Amino acid sequence: MYIRRTTIKSRKDGAQYYTYRLVESERTANGVRHYTLLNLGSGFSLPREQWPELATRIQEIISCQEPLFEAPQEVEGLAQNYAAQLIQAKKKASEPTEPDYCQVDVDSMQNVFSI
């Protein structure tokens, strides 16, 4: 997990600006794939030197690990906020939209025991 700075070109006036994303890399049979977990927006103002520390802390929170060293207060606050957003998004994605019902004819069921 890491933070990536992406250059975006405005559709209105063509001006370029930066947006920041929390990205996860995954090795697949077709090579390494990168997935955006969370868009941090264009107002992300944490200094670049602290990005690895923030990404590591977010990963620790998501996987329920205790930190080895205490993070600075600003990093800890951001990590708690972003981890909560990721956990909430994961819960929404895993919730079924409709109940899955199927009909079973109880009279046609048979028990088979094999030894």
pLDDT tens figures, 37-92: 999 988 898 999 999 999 999 999 999 888 888 888 999 999 999 999 998 888 87
Q: Where are the domains of the chain?
A: 2-100
How far, in Å, CA of 70 to CA of 57, rounded?
9
Q: Which of 75, 24, 69, 70 is nearest to 54 (CA)?
A: 75
Q: What pTM, to 2 d.p., does this model score? A: 0.73
Give the pLDDT of residue 49: 94
